[in-house]
Amino acid sequence: QVQLVESGGGLVQPGGSLRLSCAASGISFTLYTMGWYRQVPGKQRELVARFTISGTTNYADSVKGRCTISNAKNTVDLQMNSLKPEDTAVYYCNAVRIATRYNYWGQGTQVTVSS
């Protein structure tokens, strides 16, 4: 059974930092693209960053230079620096096996950037 469990969200002031962590079980990182997405009410879920099976990383333009995705063993972390109010969203961990129906989501963790 696949499980993705996020942690690390919370309230932070503008300019602050947060580190989100996704603990994955039941999947192999050698077969799945792992990523972080975010969603605000009324908008589509959007990619923040992802780690492909070839080892490359992709970032949304809005977070380039401020976020770093990394993985170790069975966790995928998202380090977010210089946070802005517009980064406020629910952040979701995702595991997808390209060209298959296997696409999994965590339950989400709230990030609020506010003074």
In three-state form (DSSP H/G/I as H, E/B as E, the rest C), the secondary structure along the chain is CCEEEEECCEEECCCCCEEEEEEEECCCCCCCEEEEEEECCCCCCEEEEEECCCCCEEECCCCCCCEEEEEECCEEEEEECCCCHHHCEEEEEEEECCCCCCEEECCCEEEEECC
Q: What is the pLDDT of residue 28?
A: 86
- Show the tokens assigned to 93: 């961990």
Positions in the chain short of pLDDT 70? none
Q: Which residue has the tokens 């002031």?
A: 13
pLDDT of residue 72: 84
Distance CA 12, CA 9 (A): 9
Give the pairing of strands 75-80 and 18-25.
antiparallel
